[in-house]
Structures are given as C-alpha cells and as structure tokens.
Structure 1
Amino acid sequence: MTTEFDEREWELERAEFLAHHSVDTGPLAGQFAELTRALLSAPTVAGALEQVAQAAVAVLPGADFVSVTLRSPDGTFHTPVATHQVAVELDLVQYEAQEGPCVACAEPTGPALAYSADLADDGKWPKWGPIALSAGVGSVLATTLLPSARPPRSTGALNVYSWKAHGLDRADHTTALLLATHASLALAHTQAVEYAELQAEQLRKAIDSRDVIGQAKGILMDRRGITGDQAFDLLRRMSQDLNVKLAELALTLATRHTELDLPPVE
C-alpha cells in the first residue's frame, strides 16, 4: 500500500509541476523528444539507427540523404542504414579509398566532426571529393559515434549529404552532434549477437560490393600490370564515363572481363 500511495502522490506532484512550469520547447526540441521515445521502443539496433537517420533528414533543413557508418573492431567499415542508395555508394568509395569524412570520423582517434561546405572548392579529400561531386553532392557533414562501453566496442559516424553547395552550414553542426549522441546511445545497447545479426542481415550487399570491387581491381592489376590505386582510379573513371554505378561496373568486369575491351590507363 505504501508504494502505491507514493506513486499516486508522485504523479500528482508531477502534474502540478508541469502545470506551473510549462515551457514552449519549440519544434526541434519536440522532434528530439520524439526521437528519444522512438529509440527506447526500437526492438533492434538497426531499427534505432534507422530512426536516427530519418530524424536527421527531418531536423536538418539541408540534409537530402543520410547514412550511418560502423567500424568493426577489426577495422572494416560498413553502412547498415542509409536513406538513399547514393549514400551507400559514396560510403563504399570512402571505405575503398580509405579517405573521406565518414572514414575520418569513424576512426577511434579521428575528429569529432568532418565538414565541407562546398566540395567543388575543397581539396580535403582528393580521391573521394571529386567522386562525390560527380555524383551530384555539393556539401557533406559527418559526426563521430562514441563507442559503446561493452564489446565489440564499435565506432562509427553519422553522415549527412546535401545536393547543394552550402546546403549544410555551421548552424547544422550542433544539431548533427546531438543526433550522433542519440545514435551512440543506440549503439551502447548493442550486444555482440545483435551486431553479428546486423552485419549478416543488413550489410551483406555492401560486403558483396566490396568483394566484387576487389575482384575487379585484381583483374585490372593482372591484365594491365598496374597498382591497386591505379586500378581503383581506372574503375572510378570508367564508372563516371559510362554513368554506371561503381559496384555494378565492378560486377560486370569480374564476370565478363574476357569479353571487354578496357580503356587505357592514364
């Protein structure tokens, strides 16, 4: 009886406090409150990260699409959640080139935030930047995800893309960091078995894409006597010239390389 009475009394006091201390928190605060509720009710880590990605598109005016990068303890990267296929492809290019905002922020010793207001006027990422620009991306923002306290202690990044130059500005940094904090809380609840399931069920396509790009690079290196970097640059150039997705081009090359007449190495 005592516990029941205490709970009723607490609810009455809480209602009285809210009645006398109501605050207009604004739409952004309301959206974050809704996100918190959604994260608490999400049945899986993948579901929680999906909520964060959708929230980023909703609360960042210049965000056209969003992805989440996870870095495994063995140093491999993958994208479990993305709101647009272009994000998946551009993330994959970063993983292959070992360069770009999400790779930098996902590294354990990387920066908290990586940002380019205008990729056409920014030489931070000489390999990845031109590819993102050719895909139509004008600006990009990535924020780090804090590792969980429990194994497997994955790190990662929240990646925000805009089609427009200056579509993302410094006013978005604080909001993006808050979103990354929410994503980090979701990761903090990841158990090793959940992490394995996330990889197996949601990342198989990305892993297969990395494998086939590696095969295509190997074929080019063998047939042309070139380095791995030269092979990747050749693949990228062919992808741009033919207006074909990098992963699709790599798959064609890996399965039909004896039928193709490859362009010369520049």
Structure 2
Amino acid sequence: MSSDQDWQRDKEAFASDRPATGPLVRQFAELTRTLLAAPTVEDVLHRVLEATTVMVPAADLASFTLLSTDGHFHTPAETDEVATELDQLQYRFREGPCVESAEPGGPAVAIAPDLTAEPRWPRWAPAAARLGMGSVLSTALISGPPGGESSGALNVYSRSRHGLDAADRDVLLLLATHASLAVAATDAVTRAELQAAHLRKAIDSRDVIGQAKGIIMARRGVSADAAFDVLRRTSQDLNVKLADLARTLAGRHTEIDLPTR
C-alpha cells in the first residue's frame, strides 16, 4: 500500500509541473478507463465525483454545476444533499465560486481558502460557513473543442479552513478536464434528460427532508433552520447522507430521536 508520503509527493509534483509516477497518476489512469466505459452522462459525473473524494483528501463534499442553454444553473450530481444546498444558495444569490467558474468567460478556477474571511461573496460565504464549510474550490468545465466556453463547474467543499491547497487545485483541474471530455463523448442521455432525472431525485429528497424537519420542529419547538441544522450535524457525525438520515427518521420517528447538541 502506498504511504501518505508517496501521495503527498505526487500532489506536489502536479503542483510544480514535475512528472509524477505514483498512486495519484495510477488513480487518473484508472479513472480514464472507468470513464471510457461509462454508459451515460450521469454515470460519468458520479464516477468523477467518487474519484474527487479519493484524490482530494480534504474534499468533504463535491458536486457538479451545469449551465443550461436557457442560462439556468442546476446541480446534476453531488456526493451529499448539503452540497446541493450550497450550490442552490449560489444560484439564488448569483454569487459564489461555482457560479463564477460555470459562467462563460468566468475564471478557470475560483478558490476561497477561508470562508469565514471571504469578501467576494458577502451573502454566500457566511451562509456556507453556517453550513459547516471552511474552504471551497471550483474549476470550470469546458464544452466543445479546446478553447471552448465554460459550460459548468466541478465544485469541492471542505469543512477545514485552508483545507484545499494548490496541489488540490491542479488535481481538480485534471478531474474537470476528464469530466469535460467524457461528457462531450457520451451521448447516451441528453442534458435535458439528466436535468429531469436529477429534478425528480431532488424533489424526492426535499420531500423526505421536509418530513424529518417537521418531526424535529414538532418535538423540540425549534425553527425550520434549526431543525435542518440538527439533521446536517447528525449526518456529518454519523457519516450518513442527509436524505438517508431524513428517510430513516421519517419512517421510524416513533423509535428514534437525534442528538440534542
């Protein structure tokens, strides 16, 4: 098994443009083979997100932002519903790293090492910090041939302040390139179908999270925001997806309760 020192050396090699031959390079080779076998755009995105959480150790959450032809943003794939919440806040406020990177003509990379002291996004950054995030990194996806305009972004959220560094940025740029090329080459489903499938999933998740929030509000006499915070913290502590936790609570609310802290 490769050591942590090997992994760190690989990351530093990516950041300094020196050739790397260790576990990180092998991960990219395996990802390339996996993406070539992916049957749909949705499979491509989820496989890249899985690779992201492995190759960027500080990545607690990851998501994709896509920009539709009518100019609307949506999140077609994510590792956790909290990532969707973080993305949706950016779409609502029209500010934040994934919105900037996904916009045509936007930066290739948008990074905030400390969200508690980030002046560029005065509404979104404090909201993200309240959801437990310490740092964020987004890289643009490219549509069409090299030099094409951005059509979306790959987003990574870390609960640690200064948790994402320059080597993570370079790894994420390579992951975004892999995702862009694989999506461009995969036509088993259209973007419209992908958006519709995610919308159905989002509605289902939102419904069950709403039920769980209602149970907590009724039991404890707290606000909707406070109830969601209880769910979010518990999902982090138990390392369980927010929607799965909400589904369990909604289905077995007479048997279980969540921590009070």
**Pair 1:184 & 2:180 matched:** yes
1:95-244 correspondence runs (5 A):
95-148=91-144, 155-191=151-187, 194-206=190-202, 240=225, 243=228
Question: Given that residues 40 and 188 in structure 2 are in contact (C-alpha distance below 8 angstroms), is that contact kept between their aligned partners in structure 1?
Answer: no
The alignment status of 1:35 with 2:41, answered yes or no, reads no
CA deviation after TM superposition for structure 1 residue 137, in Å: 0.2
TM-score if structure 2 supplies the norm length?
A: 0.68
The whole-number CA distance in structure 2 between the counterparts of 1:106 and 1:180 is 12
Distance (whole Å) between structure 1 residues aligned to residue 188 and residue 68 of structure 2: 11
Q: Quickly say closer, same or farther: Cα 1:122–1:102, change in 2 above 3 A.
A: same
5+ residue gaps, structure 1: 1-22, 211-237, 246-266
Structure 1 residues 131-151: Cα deviation after superposition (integer angstroms, max 9, x where no partner): 1000000000000000135xx
1:90 and 2:83 matched: no
Tell me, what secondary structure is at the counterpart of 2:157? strand
Please say if residues 40 and 187 of structure 2, whose CA atoms lie closer than 8 Å, have aligned partners that are also in contact. no
- What is the one-letter code of the residue matched to 1:42? A
1:148-192 CA distance string (max 9 Å, x none): 35xxx8700000000110111122111110000001012212449
Contact 1:45 1:189 in 2 (8 A): no
Report which of the two structures shows the higher radius of gyration computed on alpha carbons: 1
Does the 8 Å contact 2:140/2:152 carry over to 1?
yes
What RMSD, in angstroms, separates the aligned Cα atoms of the two structures? 2.7
Question: What does residue 60 of structure 2 align with?
Answer: 64
**Closer, same or farther: CA 154–202 of 1 in aligned 2, 3 Å:** farther
Across the two proteins, how many residue pairs are aligned to each other?
195
In structure 2, distance between residues paired with 1:239 and 1:96: 19
Structure 2 match to 1:215: none
| Post-superposition offset of 1:203 | 2.8
Equivalent residue, structure 1, for 2:69: 73
Amino acid at match of 2:34: A
Gaps of 5+ in 2: 1-18, 207-222, 232-261
Cα distance, 1:240 vs structure 2: 4.3
* 182 and 176 in structure 1: CA distance in 2 versus 1, 3 angstrom threshold: same
Amino acid in the other structure paired with 2:182: A
What secondary structure, in the 3-state scheme, does the structure 1 residue paired with 2:132 have? coil
CA distance in 1, matches of 2:33, 2:188: 24
Code of the aligned partner of 2:40 = T
Contact 2:38 2:44 in 1 (8 A): yes
Q: How far, CA to CA, are the matches of 2:225 and 2:126 in structure 1?
A: 10
Aligned counterpart for 1:52 among listed residues 41, 48, 58: 48
CA distance in 2, matches of 1:139, 1:24: 26
